[in-house]
Amino acid sequence: MAEQVFSHPELWRQLLALILASAVVMGSPGPATISVTAIGAAFGLRGSLRYASGIILGTVAVLLVVTTGITAMLSSVPKLTPLLAVASATYILYLAFKIATAPPLAARTGGAARPTFLGGFVLAVANPKAYVAIAAVFAGTSSTDELDAGLKLAVLASMIVAIHALWLLAGAAFARFLRKPLASRIINLTFAAILVLTTALAVIPLGGPTGQTGGSGPGIGGQFP
C-alpha cells in the first residue's frame, strides 16, 4: 500500500481531499468536540484523558458501524434515531451540569468525581449526527477507484484521534485560568452553555425533513461530534 500511495499523484489528491473534508466536518464544533474541550477546561488534561479516550473510541466505533453498512440496518428501525437523540441529549445535559458546577482546580479534592471512559463512549455512540457526518465524508470518496476502504478507514480514524486531541488540548489550556473562583465559574458556565447550544442545534433538526441532512460537508460540519 505504501508503494501505491507514493507512486500515484491522483491518490495523493484524493487523500488530501479526504483529509480536508474530514477536518472541516470533524473539526467543527459539535456535542462531542465541545464536551471534550469543556471537560479539559474543567478537569485539566490528566483528569480528562479517560473521558476523551471514550469519545475517541466511541467515534471510531461509529466509523466502523457506518462503513460496514450497519447504519442502513439501524435506519430501518424508525424509533431508534429519536431514542438515540434523547439518550445523548440527556447525558449531555447532565455533563453540562457537572461542568457548570465544577469547583476551581485549586480547591478540588482528590476524590472529586471525574468524567469516565464509559461516559465519553456512550455520548459518542448515542449521537445520531455522528453517523450522518461520518457517512457524508466516507461516501464523498466512495466512488473513487484509487482510495480503498481500508485506507479511508485508516485516514478517518487518524483524523478522529487528532481532532479530539486538539480540542482536548485547547480546553486544557484554559485550566490554568480556573484556579481563581470567579474565572473558573465564568469559563465553566460558558462552556456548559455552549455544550447545551451545540447539542440543541444537533438534535432539533432530527425532526425535520430527511433531505436536510444530505447537504454538503460544511452544512453538517457543525453537527459532528
Report the distance separating Cα 179 and Cα 10, nearest Å: 51
Report the distance separating Cα 197 and Cα 179, nearest Å: 26
- For 63, the 3-state DSSP assignment is helix
Domain that holds residue 36: 26-205
Sign of CA dihedral 96, 97, 101, 106: negative
For the segment 180-203, the average pLDDT, to the nearest whole number, is 78
How would you classify residue 112: left for phi > 0, otherwise alpha for psi between -120 and 50, otherwise beta? beta
Kindly state whether residue 170 falls inside one of the protein's structural domains: yes
- Please give the tally of structural domains in the chain: 1
96-140 pLDDT, tens per residue? Answer: 888 888 776 655 555 557 789 998 998 898 877 777 778 878 776
The model's pTM is 0.72
Kindly state whether residue 63 falls inside one of the protein's structural domains: yes
Q: Residue 207 corresponds to which cell in the numbers above?
A: 425532526
Kindly state whether residue 87 falls inside one of the protein's structural domains: yes
Residue 117: exposure state from Cβ atoms within 10 A (0-12, 13-18, ≥19): middle
Q: What is the pLDDT of residue 141?
A: 60
Kindly state whether residue 213 falls inside one of the protein's structural domains: no
Kindly state whether residue 7 falls inside one of the protein's structural domains: no
